């Protein structure tokens, strides 16, 4: 990443992603939190583009923005209005203290780590090799993720059912 353009793009994406992630945490409206989450996912995809990992960037957009975020958005919109806002909690102060402690630890680790760098990406890392790895080496985690997403979809549908629909299914 040489030059002004990529460095400027990195800092703009970093600011956008951090502000959007902060918006997820502080948003009182659950719908707004999901929209901030979508913006965070898009920012992460931008980092993959800067790293010349275009396939992973598109997978990030398609899977996280196009599938998971939309699934969460539907779950939020289909739940009753009373469960849509994030109320005050007694765990806010311990959560903030934990976040500050974790941030201090992360900054310490980032500062004191000797980061190894490489000049070029390894040759032969293309979509075919990635697909082969997903369907051979990583097939079990890939299948577990698909079952987990299916369970989340079924759970979202079950959350939206009314008591009348539950009673109808009990009679059958």
CA-angle at 74, arms to 73 and 78, nearest 5°: 120
What's the distance, Cα to Cα, between the start and end of the chain in Å?
62
pLDDT given at position 1: 60
Give the Cα separation of 122 and 64 in Å (integer).
26
User: What size, in residues, is the chain?
Assistant: 172
Residues 171, 90: contact at Cβ < 8 Å?
Answer: no
pLDDT given at position 138: 86
Three-state SS at 29: strand
Q: What pLDDT digit, counting tens, does each position of 41-70 carry?
A: 999 999 999 988 888 899 899 988 888 888
DSSP state for residue 118 in the 8-state scheme: -
Between 16 and 30, residue with greater pLDDT: 16
pLDDT given at position 121: 59
Residue 29 bridge partners (DSSP): 85
pLDDT given at position 142: 85
Chain Cα centroid distance, residue 89: 24
Does residue 36 register a pLDDT over 90?
Answer: yes
Nearest Cα to Cα of residue 1 among 57, 72, 61, 51:
51
Q: What pLDDT digit, counting tens, does each position of 107-139 carry?
A: 999 999 988 877 765 666 677 887 888 889 889
Three-state SS at 85: strand
pLDDT given at position 172: 66
Residues 13, 46: contact at Cβ < 8 Å?
Answer: yes
H/E run at residue 47: helix 30-50
Stretch 25-35: mean pLDDT: 84
Other beta carbons within 10 Å of 34: 21
- What are the residue boundaries of the structural domains of the chain, listed by start? 1-86, 127-172
Q: What pLDDT digit, counting tens, does each position of 67-113 carry?
A: 888 888 887 777 776 555 666 678 778 888 998 999 999 999 999 99
Three-state SS at 172: coil
Considering the entire predicted model, what is its pTM? 0.62
Architecture of domain 1-86: Up-down Bundle (1.20)
Give the Cα separation of 101 and 98 in Å (integer).
5
């Amino acid at each position: 990443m040489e030059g002004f353009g990529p460095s400027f793009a990195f800092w703009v994406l970093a600011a956008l992603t951090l502000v959007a992630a902060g918006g997820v945490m502080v948003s009182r409206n659950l719908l707004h939190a999901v929209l901030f989450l979508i913006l965070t996912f898009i920012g992460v995809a931008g980092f993959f583009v800067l790293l010349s990992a275009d396939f992973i960037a598109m997978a990030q957009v398609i899977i996280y923005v196009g599938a998971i975020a939309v699934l969460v958005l539907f779950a939020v919109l289909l739940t009753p209005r009373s469960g849509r806002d994030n109320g005050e909690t007694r765990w806010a102060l311990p959560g903030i203290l934990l976040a500050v402690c974790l941030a201090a630890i992360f900054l310490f680790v980032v500062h004191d780590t000797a980061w190894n760098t490489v000049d070029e990406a390894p040759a032969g890392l293309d979509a075919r090799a990635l697909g082969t790895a997903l369907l051979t080496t990583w097939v079990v985690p890939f299948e577990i993720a698909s079952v987990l997403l299916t369970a989340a979809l079924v759970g979202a549908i079950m959350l939206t059912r009314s008591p009348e629909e539950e009673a109808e299914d009990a009679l059958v």
